[in-house]
Amino acid sequence: MATVTNTDYTKPPRGLRWRSNTIFILSTVAVGLFTDLFLYGLIVPILPFVLSDRISIPHSEIQSYTSLLLACYAGASVVFSLPAGYIADKLPARQLPFLIGLVALTLATVLLFVGKSITVLVVARILQGTSAAVVWTIGMALVMDTVGSANLGVTIGSIFSIISVGELLAPVVGGVIYAKAGPNAVLGLGLGLLAIDFIMRLLVVEKKVAARYGLVDPSSDNSSETAQDDEDADEESPLMGTKDDEEHWKIPKDQPKWIKALPIVYCLSDARLLCAQVVAFTQAALLGVFDATIPTEAQDLFGFDSLKAGVMFMPLVLPYLLLGPLAGKFVDRYGTKPACVVGFASQTIPLILLRIPHAGGGAEIAKFSVCVGLAGVGLALISSPSIVEASYVIEKYHKANKGFFGEEGPYAQLYAINSVCFCFGLTVGPLVAGALRDSIGYGNMNAVIAAWSFLISILSFFYMGGQPRILKKSR
């Protein structure tokens, strides 16, 4: 097989056309991201039971250690995402780091299921988080390389609506398999998924590599669509909110050397881009809150084992399955602002209502499930706006400043920063949720999270998709 380092382009590798096909490349990225999220979520409902059964952690310390292990994953992603993005923008191809990330994920998965000490589990989660930093940064950059800017929004929206199911479906699957067949069966499932992922990553041939063999994919030529995007952008464009002033996106030429070395930093002064990162952080924090507290709350209130605790994630999963693609289309058609405003505002209701269920039977379980399901609807709405908004802003800067970001643009750096914010949310969410739940109780914890979600809804109204039209008209 020809690799990305092969300098002999006279003899193309077997299956070059289908291996470099847009659908196959995007499927490979989607499977890679799905695998990362799935393996992250697979351990969530069984962590309390692993800590108790395998390591003999006292029940009073289970919540703290659960939150710690969830946070180790995300913390490692925060640390390694930006270096991964910087390196990715310098490399001629994405395949090698993509494969290295998978090797780290495989090692992490094995350690998670054989480790018999907190230290080993922490190392495993750090390795898993490091892998996530590489996979998400390289994967998103590979999407950009494959479809171009014209189709980036709809592509990422579609991928996110699908892979987000993996992160939420995994706790259900992990809990059921752990209870029915034990930890070895869960490990086997993880390794099987990793094997499929590895084969796809090994086979994929990037568009830029295929072009060296003379293969041109018509679907990768987005010049006409890109030009039309520029011409059609007016004050009715949902992503923009107001008519673009090209001067707004111009970067002064007298920038210091460190800005020229890492040009994405200059773009972070843009309020829209900053808001998109805050949205990514909060979206992930909400996921982390549910991941860290649903299993322990279900165990305390209803005496659930890992199987039943995993099933309690199903109300979160179903809205993603049913509404995720529709939410992505909503963002494409109406922009990021309404999706964020409605999505975050709607979170406040189920979060506050989660203080109602108490210990008891079927009626209390039903109340808990309904509240979690309503939260899932809001999560579906906010699954893609942050990355779509951030990509749009960077695209405008890239077009307005030819040569400043280099030929490929700063997209890997952008997705690294987005990954940092998302993973920082996954770090903070479980830690804050665990601390608040232990100190002020589950109901009050959710009230605090609801207030934060409502504040982000207000922030999104003012900054996502540009200035609100109602404020623009009032001038």
Rounded CA-CA distance 323/162 in Å is 10
Q: Provide the H-helix boundaries in 303-410.
A: 306-311, 314-334, 336-353, 362-381, 385-400
What are 425-443's pLDDT values in tens digits? 877 888 888 889 889 998 9
Residue 240 has pLDDT above 60, yes or no: no
CA dist., res. 351 & res. 448, Å (int): 9
Show Cβ contacts of residue 43 under 8 Å, excluding neighbours closer than 6 positions. Answer: 50, 69, 112, 174
**Cα separation, 135 vs 412, whole angstroms:** 11
State the Cα–Cα distance between residues 314 and 303, nearest whole angstrom.
Answer: 18
User: Tens digits of per-residue pLDDT, 65-113?
Assistant: 877 887 787 778 878 887 887 777 777 667 778 888 888 888 988 888 7
Look at residue 10 and tell me whether its pLDDT is greater than 80. Answer: no
Residue pLDDT, tens place only, 149-186: 556 656 776 676 667 666 667 767 777 787 788 778 88
Is residue 21 left, alpha or beta, with left meaning phi > 0 and alpha meaning psi from -120 to 50? beta
Question: What are the boundaries of each domain within the chain?
Answer: 16-214+260-467
Could you give the percent of the chain with pLDDT greater than 70? 83
Predicted TM-score of the model (pTM): 0.74
Give residue-wise pLDDT tens across range 26-76. Answer: 888 888 888 887 887 777 667 777 788 788 888 778 878 877 887 787 778
Q: In angstroms, how far apart are the furthest CA atoms of the chain?
A: 71
Please tell me the predicted confidence (pLDDT) of residue 353.
Answer: 93
Q: How many CB atoms sit inside 10 A of residue 270's CB?
A: 18
Tell me which fold the domain 16-214+260-467 belongs to.
Answer: Growth Hormone; Chain: A; (1.20.1250)
Instruction: List, for residues 278-321, the tens digit of each pLDDT value.
Output: 999 999 899 888 888 888 888 888 888 767 777 787 888 778 77
pLDDT at 341: 95
Of these ranges, 46-55, 239-248, 355-364, the one predicted with the greatest mean pLDDT is 355-364
Radius of gyration of the chain (CA): 22
